[in-house]
Amino acid sequence: MLDVLLGKTTEKIDRFGHNQLSVFGIGASQTDKVWRAVLRQLVVRGLLEVDHTAYGALKLTQAAKPVLKGEETVMLRAIEVRPARSRKSRFAPSSGEGVHNDEDPLFLSLRAWRRETANEKGVPAYVILHDATLREIAARRPATLAELGEISGLGTKKLEAYGEAVLAVVAEG
């Protein structure tokens, strides 16, 4: 969804013809970070929800209809864009501050994938991957198995068993 708004050309966008949509690139004036914050706010307000049947994709709720029709307006928090910090400090907690927002659509998608996988295997969700691991995946957004392998909680066996599926969820996110 974000790649469409930002006008990014990817294999998946080309394959599904999303570059032909009227909204392709319409949000390119904002950063990925800004759009993620907007999506989080829309999820919190109940206008978007995670579609657990479509690999954690976001979908509009009934509450979004009046907004789309222009009958209601939505006020969102202003999003402050800060200069990028070094990679090390970006993922390390600082002064008691949390590293990740548990309302991040990607984190919610990863949890939905984990729940489905755990149900299929008949095991508790934490056996698949811990929340801390999912938070780090959502924060780093790895694109390759090598990047995913750098994340705490993903050993060789879990990387082999779940790596491709996790990367698919991240790519959708």
Q: What's the rounded mean pLDDT across residues 142-158? A: 88
Which residue's structure tokens are 């509450």? 63
Sign of CA dihedral 132, 89, 159, 40: positive
Q: Is pLDDT at 25 greater than 90 in this prediction?
A: no
What are 165's two structure tokens?
Answer: 């599926």
For 90-106, how does the pLDDT look when each residue is reduced to its tens digit (9 = 90+)? 444 443 344 456 788 99
For 103-129, how does the pLDDT look when each residue is reduced to its tens digit (9 = 90+)? 889 999 999 999 999 999 898 988 899
For 72-90, how does the pLDDT look when each residue is reduced to its tens digit (9 = 90+)? 998 888 776 666 555 544 4
To 10 degrees, the CA torsion angle through 144, 43, 77, 70? 120
Domains of the chain: 1-30 (no CATH), 31-85+99-172 (1.10.150.80)
Evaluate whether 104 touches 48 at the Cβ level (below 8 Å): no
Round to the nearest angstrom and report the end-to-end CA distance of the chain: 8
